[in-house]
Structure 1
């Protein structure tokens, strides 16, 4: 039985990739075989040979120091910087859950931990044509608990509570919250942390400041969060 977590966020450009890289780095430096996986990534650039490079995966690989081959990280790569459902309408190659699951399960056989990153916020259409696939469908298909990344600043109480309520109502398991762009000692951000915990009943398991190269959670605690037994 594999171990892992699915990292989602309260919106796009909230810092999911940055936080995911730090989580993987933490496990990797603790000697755990750890892989990165993202089902669909859009807004990518081409290399000198014209091949699309999954930018988020390349970033995570660089920051975390893992040796996982880049071509095992993202089964669906799009150039257009829009939601995956629209990118696939423009470029073709729509997401198939069977392929996503097969790629993920292959990693599970090779690595002790697989940390998955979502596209955009939790309400993200991955495919919307003859089939409808939402981000939550991928999470359920992979059978993973989740962590929510949110910005620490103004407005985060609303976005965190709404995201949590949506996820809970759709049967998704949430292990905790991570606040990005956190300024320790800020009265507002310290209060945001407290209110997010009180209003959702979930722990803030880490706070990340700009340009942090480490995340303030122990490797053992992170392993526990990623375990099938779960919880803190």
Structure 2
């Protein structure tokens, strides 16, 4: 569904990626692992269609995003959601925060109504909000002020906000890095729920145990590219690249 092919990127004279290629399919979870500072967040920005590569292509359903005109590119971007490492919520009730994504993606209104109707038997924004909050275990917090939430709850609301408009692809940047085990478990359950709805999910994580729990495939980001991308158990049990094994074993000095 979403592909980066032979991507090269630099920040000034500093190369970030050299001929990087990877992708995610509908209804699949891909975990991106690699050392801190290797470029996982930059990769997610690239896949979110907000960062243009120097060379190579990023395609969504076969359409080259950066070869499209501005209007078409905007429509493509609206099909991709992102949850950042730190929640950023408005000083407003939880429901208003979750429905924000629905309101700014108005060209997708008919598609959203159809999706919500198939999920909950209704076509209202309120039902879409309730459904998304139910996935993250906060259905009873609709009217609660977002400022009163704990850090873990706020991150769950951020996830619900992205899930509510049913993106084709959902990108997660270290979504549980500062969360306790309970909130981490809820987020991981929500990732599985997104996959079950046919959403392609890419999660960048430093937690290899989490990658093993949630991912169908794992992409290893090292040396300015994806050095290995394979089914999860293959990467952890029988990697084809020696660098992958050294990274997993903690032997790789980066």
TM range (shorter): 0.3 to 0.5
Larger Rg: 2
Greater helix share, structure number: 2
TM norm structure 2:
0.35
